[in-house]
Amino acid sequence: MRHVMRLAAVSLVALAFPHLARAQWMTQRIALSAGWNAVHLKVYPADARCEVVFSDARIEEVTWWNRDRLDDGTGAAVADTCNWYRGSTGEANTFSRVIGDQRYLVKASGAVTLDVVGTPALPKGTIYLGEYNLVGVNAPNLAGANAPTYFEYFEPCPAGVVSWYGVTSAGDRLRLANSAKASDASKALWLETSGSGTASYSGPFSVGIGGSAKTLEWTADATAVRTLTVKNVSSKDRVLRIERSSSLPPPTGRGTCAGDVSLLRETVEWSDGYAKRVFVPMTFPFATNLAAGATLELRVRPDADHMPASSGDYMSILVVSDKGSTLDGELRPDGTCLCRVGAFASGSLAANTRASAAGLWVGTVVLGQVNRAKMLGSSTPEWDPEALLAAPHAFQFRLILHVDDNGTAKILKQVFTAKRSADADHSDLLTDRDTAILYREMFPGATIRRTASANFPFADPIALSGGEFMSPGSELSATFTQAYDDKTNPFVHSFHPQHDNVEFRNGTPHVKGSGDEGVGDYESWGVTREVTLEFLDEDPSRAAGQNWNRTVTGGVYTERVTGLVGQGKPIITRGIFRLSKVCDTPQLTTEVIH
């Protein structure tokens, strides 16, 4: 059934920092001395206004080193530095809010301790060569004789660095000795660089979670696997250690915390003779060796078995460090680098027991068995064409299904998941590129993500029939044909003239026939594919827990292909399929009407 999205008017509401609507809370303690202090802000403050963050009357003025060309939400062009002054000084303020993972110069009339409550900011450093740069240190709070030097925090040293400088109380640069020890992980440093262009640097570990995301987040309509990526950019092997710490109670009006986020991590299992992806509970601390230059991609999703129903939300902070590494023959119990990543799972997701399967499902098929179809013209050996044998190698591909409010399931070749704005409360599902283009014209601020499967040749969604989606023991199937002249038919070659089933005799074309029945003397045959999905009562990997046949489902995938080796000689493949619900939208949008 075609779904038509009619748009009468669009109301846009601008939110200064929408990502703080759901967050994992921590406090960054910043010790300021009298005079000027260089500070690296490592949180997105709950209230980012300067008069709130710098509320202590002893803080006189703040300079924001924003060489990254950021602004305070106005969209206006800004200089390399912006300033904020307390009270009426005759000077105009050129910024009014602070941002996480930024560097600031703060002038105080006396010693001040700032406790800034916010959500952790991922470090993403850019260094501008040929200039002075104010750079933050991503390190644990260490001090004393055993603390690493500042230079160890930056190992390997970013390209183009000439000298390192601290900040004196008068605001001047003071060159650091090679033996300078770290005393405060919230400090920032000036570095002098040579050359031109830019270089990226965020510490010995580069940590990311994909795209512009600032946290590992799962909501009722976004349950897909998230990937935490950690790269060892240094020249030394290190221990990667991930610990979980609890969130602080959220500030007033930001909801309640029901407990820590329990996670499942993806691993590979070989119990069936081939590689199979399964999810197992993630225990903390999680530790593994990470060689110099190596990258770990940790795919995780929430473990609902350990997050009971709650009106609150689940919040945690993942602490990523090289704690326990042996560097230069010396064991560093606390390591030399540290960053924090927020994790959030909505209470409605953890308590999800809805019977409705409506929405978008994305997953994987792993084929591990195939029959031995008798080839044309062969008489021996004989075998049962229905008997399946283990394949030498497993074959894997993506499977995309959509279920509407009526329970009708369809296989999709592609889908565009679209959100009209960053703070939109739902996603639209678009079926084709032209619709996505129109959608972008109507919503210039929209985010659109395409998901596709290369295994299916059809353009429009194909309905499955038979049983009930996600019902244990039921089977759903669909049949589709690639005609003898279809450009996706494996027999057809665009540059070969003899794939049209037309034979020329004495200059006269003689039509042989369609060949769709898969028998006869044809240049090209039609191919028919029948796909069957059988849903299982229990999760074979035991990883989904109470989410099985709720937000995660799967079973046995079987496909019969006829036409490739003649009539009555099917090629049969079989394996497992697994689907995760990624969106609750029950409609597919095939047309956008202004």
- Locate 59 and state its tokens: 């803080």
Higher pLDDT, 433 or 502: 433
pLDDT averaged over every residue in the chain: 83
What is the 8-class DSSP label of residue 211? T
On whether the CB atoms of residues 8 and 592 are closer than 8 A, the answer is no
70 falls in which pLDDT band (50, 70, 90)?
low
Q: What is the pLDDT of residues 230-267, one digit of tens each?
A: 999 999 999 999 999 999 999 998 889 999 999 989 88
On whether the CB atoms of residues 3 and 402 are closer than 8 A, the answer is no
DSSP-derived 3-state class of residue 434 = helix
Q: What is the DSSP string of 134-170?
A: EEE-------STTSPBHHHHTPSPPTTEEEEEEE-TT
pLDDT of residue 53: 96
% pLDDT > 70, the chain = 83
Long-range contacts of 50-54 (CB under 8 A, 24+ apart): 50/84, 50/93, 50/95, 50/96, 50/97, 50/98, 53/98, 53/114, 53/116, 54/84, 54/86, 54/106, 54/114
Residues 6+ apart with CB under 8 A from 379: none
Give the β-pairing of 3-6 and 589-593.
Answer: parallel
Q: What is the pLDDT of residues 307-345, one digit of tens each?
A: 877 888 999 999 999 999 998 888 988 888 999 999 999
What is the 8-class DSSP label of residue 374? P
Please work out, in degrees rounded to the nearest 5, the angle formed at the alpha carbon of residue 18 by the alpha carbons of 16 and 22.
145
pLDDT of residue 560: 93
Buried/exposed code over 234-268 (b: 16+ C-beta within 10 A; e: otherwise): bebbbbbbbbbeebbebeeebbebbbbbbbbbbee
For residue 20, pLDDT over 60 is answered with: no
Looking at the DSSP assignment, which residues form a beta bridge with residue 118? 26, 45
Buried/exposed code over 120-159 (b: 16+ C-beta within 10 A; e: otherwise): bbbbebebbbebbbbbbbbbbebeeeebbbbbbbbbeebe
Instruction: Kindly list the structural domains of the chain, giving each domain's residue range(s) and its CATH number in brackets, ordered by start.
Output: 26-200 (no CATH), 205-350 (2.60.40.10), 359-483+526-593 (2.40.160)
Distance in angstroms between the alpha carbons of the first and the last residue of the chain: 20
In the chain, the amino acid numbered 415 is V
pTM above 0.85, yes or no: no
1 falls in which pLDDT band (50, 70, 90)?
very low
pLDDT of residue 567: 61
pLDDT of residue 18: 40
In the chain, the amino acid numbered 185 is A
% pLDDT > 90, the chain = 44
Distance from C-alpha of 252 to C-alpha of 257, rounded to nearest angstrom:
12
DSSP-derived 3-state class of residue 305 = helix
Distance from C-alpha of 488 to C-alpha of 143, rounded to nearest angstrom:
66
pLDDT of residue 409: 96
Q: What is the pLDDT of residues 202-217, one digit of tens each?
A: 889 999 997 677 899 9
Max distance between CA atoms of the chain, in angstroms, equals: 103
What is the 8-class DSSP label of residue 283? P
On whether the CB atoms of residues 263 and 345 are closer than 8 A, the answer is no
Q: How many residues does the chain have?
A: 594
Residues 6+ apart with CB under 8 A from 474: 466, 467, 468, 534, 535
pLDDT of residue 16: 36
